């Protein structure tokens, strides 16, 4: 029981209320995410939520769910409340709005060979031209060994930037349990600018840990708005790979 996937979720999304329970092909989004996670090499998959409504759906589908406190700083904080009581050494944090996540990406993260004493891993992909200037997307600059130097949303904040060096930070991370607990038992003080950026990974760097990206070929469409849901449904209709994965979880 070394590695486990935790999916933090709640119902209070500002841009798309109750999105976690929105149905895609007649299946709740959280179930898309949870069932895809179970297709990876990691067989310990848990949902963490403050919602009895979400919990009821997970239990109805024979899934594992933990009830957390209502308010948390972010998803990692919500997961940390639960994992400190469990025996896992490595924690994969998967966002609940990733209904098209590829199980192979989760397997790649769990298999990644590195000394994790001071390092957190984060899936990332190359940015295309549109993504670079999209303020909804978290980007990063990395050094030659793929360790994150800087996190940002607006490329205008970075001087003398080279577009080919920018990577898109995805919402899937691997924390050593000790690092996750240390960050959230004693959270770093963030500046007003850092709070405004609302980038969860900033806390990792502020606590002087390393953040290393694990590169994947392509990012998958997440759902932040009702328009994103339409895009996901179109991808499910067009992509043979996505159709195959859906047939395995439906």
* Model confidence, pTM: 0.93
Pairing of the two strands 45-49 and 3-9: parallel
Quote the tokens at residue 40.
């990876």
Residue pLDDT, tens place only, 75-89: 899 999 999 989 999
Cα→Cα distances 207→83, 119, 179, 186, Å? 20, 11, 9, 9
Q: Which residues contact 22 (CB under 8 A, 6 or more apart)?
A: 16, 28, 29, 223, 229
* Residue 9: closest CA among 230, 222, 226, 228: 222
Cross-strand pairs, 211: 120
Q: Which CATH architecture has domain 3-228?
A: Alpha-Beta Complex (3.90)
Domain layout of the chain by residue ranges = 3-228
Helix (H, G, I), strand (E, B) or coil at 152: strand
Output the CA–CA distances (angstroms, integers) from residue 24 to 117, 200, 223, in the order listed: 39, 27, 11
| Three-state DSSP class for residue 130 | helix
As given in the structure block, the two tokens for residue 94 are 């998967």
In this predicted model, what pLDDT tens digit does every residue of 133-191 receive, in sequence order?
A: 888 889 999 999 999 999 998 877 665 555 557 899 998 999 999 999 999 999 999 99
């Amino acid at each position: 029981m070394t590695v486990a996937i935790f999916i933090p979720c709640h119902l209070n999304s500002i841009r798309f209320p109750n999105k976690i329970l929105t149905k895609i092909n007649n299946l709740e989004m959280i179930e898309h995410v949870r069932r895809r996670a179970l297709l990876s090499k990691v067989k310990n998959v848990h949902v963490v939520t403050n919602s009895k409504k979400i919990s009821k759906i997970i239990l109805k589908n024979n899934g594992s769910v933990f009830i957390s406190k209502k308010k948390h700083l972010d998803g990692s904080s919500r997961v940390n409340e639960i994992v400190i009581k469990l025996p896992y050494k490595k924690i994969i944090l998967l966002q609940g709005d990733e209904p098209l996540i590829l199980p192979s990406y989760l397997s790649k993260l769990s298999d990644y060979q590195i000394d994790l004493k001071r390092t957190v891993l984060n899936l990332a992909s190359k940015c295309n031209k549109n993504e670079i200037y999209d303020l909804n997307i978290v980007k990063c600059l990395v050094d030659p060994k793929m360790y994150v130097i800087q996190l940002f949303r607006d490329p205008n904040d970075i001087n003398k930037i080279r577009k080919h060096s920018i990577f898109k930070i995805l919402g899937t991370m691997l924390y050593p349990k000790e690092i996750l607990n240390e960050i959230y038992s004693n959270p770093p003080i963030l500046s007003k600018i850092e709070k405004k950026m609302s980038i969860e990974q900033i806390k990792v760097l502020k606590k002087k840990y390393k953040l290393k990206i694990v590169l994947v070929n392509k990012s998958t469409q997440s759902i932040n708005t009702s328009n994103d849901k339409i895009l996901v449904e179109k991808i499910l209709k067009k992509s043979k790979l996505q159709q195959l994965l859906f047939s395995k979880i439906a």
